[in-house]
Structure formats: C-alpha cells, structure tokens
Structure 1
Amino acid sequence: MGAALLSACGRGEAATGAIAPLKSHVPFPLGVCAMTAQMGDPQWAAMIATHFDRITPEWEMKMEYILQPDGSLRFDAPDRIVQQARNYGQSVLGHTLIWYAQDGDYFQKLKSQRQAFEAAYRAYIRDVMAHYIGYVDGWDVVNEPILDDGSDLRDCLWREVLGDDYIDIAYQAAHEADPACPLILNDYNLEYYPAKRKRFLALVEGMLKRGVPLQVLGTQTHIAADLPRGAIRETLRDLAATGLKIHLSELDISLKEAAKNALDFRNYRDAQRALYEEAAEAYAALPTAQQFGLTVWGLRDKDSWYNRKDKGLIADEPLLFDDAGQLKPVGQAFVKAL
C-alpha cells in the first residue's frame, strides 16, 4: 500500500500529490465529519467523495440544531448531508441523539413533569431515528456520559429528571424505533484517564447485563501529540475485550495542545506521526468482526474544529491533509500503518 503514495510537493512538511483513495487501503468503513457549510467547496467535495466511504454530520444532526423551542424538528441541513452522501455512494453515521451538553428550551419547560418529560424524550429519539431509517448505518445514542475523573455519570438535565436510567431509556427507545440499527455509546478521553475508561466499561457491562440493546463502543480519540505511546492501543484492547464492535470515532491529533499553544510546535511532529501510526495499527489489528469503522474529525487542517475558534497567531495542524488538500507526511504514515 505504501507504493500507492506518490511523489511529494508542498508547503511546510512535504505533502503528497496524487494518491490512491484512502478508503482503498482498509476493509472497514473510513469516515470523516462534515457540515453543510463545507459542501460548496469543490475541492472539499471532491476529496470527500474520493477518500471516504462514511460521513458523520459534525454538528447538524445534534439536538441543538434539530430540536426547536416548540418541540418541532428541522432536518434541512442533515438531510443535505445525507443526500450528498447518497450521491457519492457513502454511508452516514448518526451523531448524536442524547448529549449532556445540549437539551433545549422545549425539554427545560418539561423538567418538572416527569411523565411528560420521558414521553417527549422517547418521542424525540423515535422521531429523529424514524426520519433516517434506511439512511444511516449506526447511531451515537448517548454521547459522553462519564466524568473525566471516572467518579460518576455527568450531571445533565436527562439525569436530573430521569435518573441514571436516562441511558437505558434512550437505548430502548432507539431500538424500538429501528431494531436493525447498530446503537453506539460514545465517549472521549478514554486514552487519558484509566479511571474514566474503567467507569465507562462498568457502565457497558451493566447495560449488557440488563439486556440494553448496545452493539458498538465509540472512542473519540481527540488527543494531543504528547499522549504517551501505547495509550491508544491499550484503550482499544480494553474496549474490544467486551466483544462489542469498536468505532474509533473522532480521530485528530493536536500539535498546539501538546505544545501548550506555543508558536513553534515542530518538535511534536514526530510524536504526532507516531500516534497516528499507533491508531492505525491498533485499529487494524482488531478482529475483523469488531471493526465498525475509523473516522477522522475533519478533512484538511483548516476544516478542524481546533481552528474554528481562538486559533491564535498560528493554526493547529491536527489532520491528515494540509490546507491545500495535500496528504501530509503524517497522513502518509497513517496510510502505511493501516
């Protein structure tokens, strides 16, 4: 596969010009996140179609976008993403139904009415999933439920009203809406905090014992280039020990986070490359039956969420392609390691 990576051209670190589609190097779905604002960029659209076979809506399938204050639902933007994916023969990953960070005025007004709140909670999950039956190949049902220190579930409106059962209820409602759809539990910083990973796995074990329909575990893998080597491999090994499918769901590796936003982060490029290699090798080494897919969280460096707000004097470079759309050396290393 390395022979498919052709001669370099570029800016900064030498970037690669003509390359084989990245998705051609792996037997599992290779995904990327997307927003409708990017769809008008011809280069972005062409690269997405060429290199990836799964799309995850980055924001516009979340409750903050879909749910309106009166309880009605808007699907215009996520529908556009789904239609473009269909045009390119790609699958779509639903992201996300229930997240501690988003609830909305509609649910806030119902929080003193336990029965009405649960009915609306179930209905939201049912109606969003029903809208996309046959168009998505999995859903992040609950996103980021565990505190970073691993001490407990996060506090949120869902837990305040429904108790810890809010998670089980969400998966039951999702399964009732689309019994054939793989349901995912997704979280982040599992590589950084063993206690959080342990609590996450305890949650999973309890759900499975209770018969909760859960088929896939997602580890986001938003990491910095100073993450100790071996942490990604250890995390994937621990998650895979459950026997469930594994989604490496939001991969990016920040240089600026490692350098603590210093202007010169060149010393972290080798570490970044090694971590991308580790992620690729460790995921590719999972049993084939447990490989749900690997998703990178952005196409080009300028598309990254790290560069959207407060990027400072110099932009981060956390992704596989540079701003000009060329595969960077870190991207070449990632592909060779798959």
Structure 2
Amino acid sequence: MSLRELAAAGGVRVGAAVSETVFDTGDETYCSLLAGEFNSLTAERAMKWMWIHPEPDRWEWAANDGLVQFAESHGMQVRGHTVVWPHWGTPPYITDCDDAAALRRHLVEHLEVLFAHWGGSVARVDVVNEPLHWLEGRLADSVWRSLMGDDYMAEVLTLAHDVDPTIELWINETHNDIVPDKHELFTKMVADLVERGLPLHGIGVQGHQLYPDFSPAPPTPERFHQVVNTYADMGLEVAVTEMDVLAHPTDSDRLDVQARIYGELVDAALSVEACREITFWGVSDAHSWVDEHFGPDRAPLLFDREGQPKPAYHAVAAAFASRARRTPTG
C-alpha cells in the first residue's frame, strides 16, 4: 500500500511540500510520487507573502494556481503556507512599514484578496509561522511585534477569522520539540490564546531534524509524543508540518539511522489521536531545500534522487499502518 492509502485507512493526511520550480523541470517521477503517495500538499514558497503579493498592487497567482490545480486533479487537500512570518518571506513594503494602522490595512487587504482567490480550495493555513526565535525561548523580532505588540498573534487570528470563518487557522512552529525553553514559552502562548477563545484550530510542530548541522539531536520518541500531546490536551488538532531528517555523510549506517528516527517520531506523533497530519518538507532527495543550506549529501527525504523508496519510507509506512490498525476505519 502507498503512504496515501495507509494514511486514508488511519483517517489522517500525509503531505509533501512542493516547490513550483520543480513542476517547471518536467520531472515526471517527482510528480508521479507526489500524486501517488500523498493526499495533502503544502506550497513550499508559492503562497508566502513575498512571492504571491510582492508589491501592494501586484499579485502573482500562477504558481499558487498551478499547485492548487494539481491538488484538485489528484484528490489532494491543500495547506496554505504562510501569511505572517516574522523571520523571512515578507516583502519590503511590509518589513519597512512604520505605521501600525497601515500595517493592519495591508494585512486585512492581503487576507481578503488571498482567501477570496482561494475560494475554499485551501482547507487550512499556517496563518502565523515561527513566531519565536529559531533556537531560543523568546519572541522573534519583527515588524508585526514592534507595531502591533507582543500579542499580535491574537489580532492576526481574529482578523483572519473575520475575513473567512470557514478556513482552519493554524500556528506553525519549529524546534519546540528539541528546545525545552522554547516549548515552554510557546505552550504558554498557545494556552493563553485558547483560554481567551481565539479562533485557533491547530498547531503545527514542524519536525525538522537538522542535527548536527544546525539543531540539537532529535528528540526521543517519548519527548516527541509529549510535545504533540501538549497541544492535543488543549483541544487542538496537531500536525507535523515540515518533517525531514538529515542522513549525515559521516555516519556509515546513516540511512538505517535515518529510518529509525523517522519511524519512531512519526509513530510517536500518530499515537496521539489529535495528530491528523504528517507532512514531509519535500518529496525526494532530488529536490530539497537542504541541499542549498547544508550540502547535497544529506539525503533528507523518503525517496532517493532516482525516486526509489529508502529505508525511511518503509519505517514511515509501518508507522502509518500502526495508526490505521488503531482506528475504527483501519
């Protein structure tokens, strides 16, 4: 069975991040794997503010529409990514804004046009992405925080919900599974939003495992389960939204180690009933953001450069099969 079939049997989504540039290469193997193995799609960059709305009066819809059309043609759901991102992906007319009222107008206009264009074709959106510092337990500095205050996420959620109350609004964060003080602060922030009744549907735990190039070692399965369950206990849906695991070239058994990490962490997440999605940040090693940042020999995904399944694929498939066996539909 494909990952897509196993996920459907367990009542969950299995997704992949997709760069619109890959479609331009005509890589038929990539497109076949995407359609055959996944039932959810995330735009790697096509829906980020910088690419889709680079100037106040200019929208670039082609890449967005191509991904949505592909998803609709192959029975896939679409995860929108992302609206507010303090770190990156935001055009200068936003980052250079020095007036709070003007920033709010830009945000509302962006949400109105974006959500109207989607017209229900995008089921959920990471409306705020990475509000905290990458590896520290503190808020990231940004124009949103400086002009709208530390509580800007509450306002973003409210404004987005007012524009379209039918779309699921998510907050997506990275490395809160491996940086304890970051997890502690993020948990307090999310709990506060929930207690105040803000329109928050779910939390994305990204799941990038970039050890040893950038981040601490991967969490234990018990720790990963605990982190995912933290937000489930608040009544929220949870997803692992951007998973990849580096297979470091210095490890002689790197693909087996990678498979163990993938299998243990995916199984730990899916053992939480409220975890309804696992999305990998790419389809195959032939096209990955990791190459540019850490080198071309980290092999971070489930399929190799030729599109063949790696040991990690089989470990992940086993985890999805376990979820399916635990569900009534499975």
Q: What residue in structure 1 maps to residue 30 of structure 2?
A: 44
Picking from 4, 18, 21, the partner of 2:2 is 21
The TM-score, its normalising length taken from structure 2, stands at 0.88
| Uncovered stretches (5+) of structure 2, i.e. residues with no partner | 212-216, 321-330
Kept in 2, the 8 Å contact 1:93–1:137? The answer is yes
| Structure 1 range deviating more: 273-282 or 186-195 | 273-282
Kept in 2, the 8 Å contact 1:150–1:195? The answer is yes
How many residues align structurally? 308
Q: Which amino acid is the alignment partner of residue 262 of structure 2?
A: Y
Q: What residue in structure 2 maps to residue 251 of structure 1?
A: 243
- Asked if residue 304 in structure 1 is aligned to residue 288 in structure 2, the reply is yes
| Uncovered stretches (5+) of structure 1, i.e. residues with no partner | 1-19, 257-262
Q: Please, what is the CA RMSD of the aligned residues?
A: 1.8
Cα drift, residue 152 of structure 1: 2.5
Kept in 1, the 8 Å contact 2:108–2:159? The answer is yes
- Asked if residue 234 in structure 1 is aligned to residue 216 in structure 2, the reply is no
For 1:213 and 1:153, locate their aligned partners in 2 and report how far apart those are by CA, in whole Å.
21
Deviations 1:108-155 (A, max 9, x none): 45x233222211122212221221131011000000001245543111
Q: Which amino acid is the alignment partner of residue 14 of structure 2?
A: L
Q: SS at 2:133's partner residue?
A: coil
Q: Which amino acid is the alignment partner of residue 2 of structure 2?
A: P
For 1:113 and 1:106, locate their aligned partners in 2 and report how far apart those are by CA, in whole Å.
11
Picking from 81, 84, 88, the partner of 2:67 is 81
Q: SS at 1:158's partner residue?
A: helix
For 2:300 and 2:53, locate their aligned partners in 1 and report how far apart those are by CA, in whole Å.
31
Q: Which amino acid is the alignment partner of residue 291 of structure 1?
A: C
Kept in 1, the 8 Å contact 2:14–2:40? The answer is yes
Matches within 5 A, 1:166-315: 166-224=152-210, 226-230=217-221, 231-256=223-248, 263-287=249-273, 290-309=274-293, 311=295, 315=297
For 1:309 and 1:146, locate their aligned partners in 2 and report how far apart those are by CA, in whole Å.
21
Deviations 1:168-191 (A, max 9, x none): 121111111211111100000011
For 1:169 and 1:71, locate their aligned partners in 2 and report how far apart those are by CA, in whole Å.
24
Call closer, same or farther: CA 1:318–1:223 in 2, change over 3 Å: same
Call closer, same or farther: CA 1:268–1:204 in 2, change over 3 Å: same
Q: Which amino acid is the alignment partner of residue 304 of structure 2?
A: D
Q: What residue in structure 2 maps to residue 337 of structure 1?
A: 319
Kept in 1, the 8 Å contact 2:44–2:81? The answer is yes
For 1:228 and 1:139, locate their aligned partners in 2 and report how far apart those are by CA, in whole Å.
26
Kept in 2, the 8 Å contact 1:61–1:94? The answer is yes
Q: SS at 1:202's partner residue?
A: helix
Q: What residue in structure 2 maps to residue 106 of structure 1?
A: 93
Q: SS at 1:68's partner residue?
A: coil
Kept in 1, the 8 Å contact 2:80–2:122? The answer is yes
Kept in 1, the 8 Å contact 2:158–2:199? The answer is yes
For 2:302 and 2:27, locate their aligned partners in 1 and report how far apart those are by CA, in whole Å.
18
For 2:85 and 2:202, locate their aligned partners in 1 and report how far apart those are by CA, in whole Å.
17
Picking from 26, 30, 36, the partner of 2:14 is 30
Deviations 1:184-218 (A, max 9, x none): 00000011111111111111111112221001000
Cα drift, residue 70 of structure 1: 3.6
Q: What residue in structure 2 maps to residue 322 of structure 1?
A: 304
Identity across aligned pairs (percent)?
28
Q: Which amino acid is the alignment partner of residue 37 of structure 1?
A: T
Call closer, same or farther: CA 1:283–1:149 in 2, change over 3 Å: closer
Kept in 2, the 8 Å contact 1:29–1:293? The answer is yes
Q: SS at 1:266's partner residue?
A: coil
Call closer, same or farther: CA 1:135–1:228 in 2, change over 3 Å: closer
Deviations 1:254-302 (A, max 9, x none): 123xxxxxx4322443332221111221122112xx2331101111112
- Asked if residue 165 in structure 1 is aligned to residue 139 in structure 2, the reply is no
Kept in 2, the 8 Å contact 1:61–1:95? The answer is yes
Q: Which amino acid is the alignment partner of residue 212 of structure 1?
A: L
For 1:285 and 1:183, locate their aligned partners in 2 and report how far apart those are by CA, in whole Å.
23
Q: Which has the larger radius of gyration?
A: 1
